[in-house]
Amino acid sequence: MGSASGKGKMPTGPRGQEFGIPRRLGTSSNSVPLAQRKGAATSTPSRQEAPPPKAPIKPAPPVPRVIISRKTPFERIGLVGEGTYGQVFKAQNWMSKELVALKRVRMTSEKDGFPITAAREIKILQRLSKGTDNDKIIHLLDNMVESNGFYMIFEYMDHDLTGILNHPTFRLSYANIKDLAHQFFSGLAHIHRAGILHRDIKSSNILVNSEGQLKIADFGLARQYDKMSERLNIEQHFTNRIITLWYRPVEILLGETEYTTGPDVWSGGCVFMELFTRKAIFTGTNEITQLDYIWSILGTPSPSVWPDWKKTAWYSMLRPEQKYEPCFEKRFGSIVPADALALAQRIFTYDPKKRPKAEDVLQDPYFTANEPKMERTTALKHIEGEWHELESKKNRKKERERLQTAAKTKAQP
């Protein structure tokens, strides 16, 4: 189960802005207008709340080009991803010539030489490997402990959605988008049927191979939940330090610790819209501005729409200071088909108790009745290279540097 967190208690930790706890600025709750708070840094916890200082993390030893497992040797080809969890390498099995992804896990917390986070992820992946739609989940092939770290060995996928959507020329048709969205929500429904919450759904964690097959990956933040308790409306407490900011739902931004599948579905809605817009639609820099983006597009919630929203832990600190009218259709109506827009609006229901489940999303007319019919994308096999979030970041950095150089050259007499 997830980490217990008392409702309203503000967790502390070193993860910074991505999971920081917002505080109102100024001397009173009404002293600073919301517009003036945009971009403000997240305030730090009090001295009493702060955890004891941690010893500096020793740098990990370099990854050798050839990694020998207890069964087969792998040759490292290149880095394809990195984050707080560690690094992911593209590699090849010398014997079978099969391409694999080697996820090197950071050894920050371990038990008997085995990283605890990896043990939890392995257990969850084993549970998800059974049942219908298990082909929508990344397949864990093996794991190994070596002198330079712990590795999880996955099937290799050519791209992730972030990379595909940032490709300079490749475009998905509406039929392709519908197929990818159906694969995704089928996989998410499978995860929830198994009693698992993913808690980090975002486009870079959704992988796609050259045949257009989609798989959900990165279960490092995933936890099991009690489906029977959910049906009986029995409270289940988890941490609210979850989900990358742009994909985080309103209830988590407002400090909620009682949740089940609602946050995953909201995050899935963000990814669904991204398939059309090719970029995230709610792009705040901290919890305050993230909520402001959401209010300004979906409108300010009211008690009739979300009866419990004033009961959320951080409502008094983060309540909107002005009333917004919804402009979702106006903002995206020229980009997103009407039936897809209607489905997205269902998904972005403020009240998590009324938000559709992943299985409900699959029964929407967008998938079941309306044209165009789903069509698996075949053009991915023809694009040059492999496209992941890491390459997208590198390309954006190069473009920024090119523009800066051009601007400096132009400014010279």
Place of tokens 């050839």: 66
Q: In the chain, what are the helix, strand and coil shares in percent, each to the nearest 5? A: 35, 15, 50
Rounded Cα–Cα distance for residues 400 and 125 (Å): 39
Taking the CA atoms of residue 127, residue 132, residue 137 and residue 142 in that order, the dihedral angle to the nearest 10 degrees is 50
- Give residue 328's identity as a one-letter amino acid code: F
Q: What angle do CA 65, 84, 277 make, to 5 degrees?
A: 105
Tell me the DSSP string of 83-125: ETTEEEEEEEETTT--EEEEEEE--SSEETTEEHHHHHHHHHH
Taking the CA atoms of residue 388, residue 389, residue 395 and residue 397 in that order, the dihedral angle to the nearest 10 degrees is -160
Rounded Cα–Cα distance for residues 151 and 104 (Å): 5
Q: Is 71 assigned to a binding site?
A: no
Tokens standing for 8? 């309203």
Is 158 marked active-site? no
Rounded Cα–Cα distance for residues 238 and 221 (Å): 11
- Kindly name the residue from 200, 218, 292, 364 that is annotated as catalytic: 200
Q: Which stretches of 235-334 are assigned E, i.e. beta strand? A: none
Kindly report each contact of residues 65-71 with a partner whose C-beta sits within 8 Å and lies 24 or more positions away, as own/partner: 67/91, 67/102, 67/144, 67/146, 67/151, 68/146, 69/142, 69/144, 69/146, 69/151, 69/153, 70/144, 71/142
Residue 115, phi then psi, degrees to nearest 5: -65, 130
Tokens standing for 57? 């993390």
Contact (Cβ atoms closer than 8 angstroms) between residue 32 and residue 24:
yes
Tokens standing for 171? 């475009």
Binding site feature residues for ATP: 103
Catalytic residues: 200
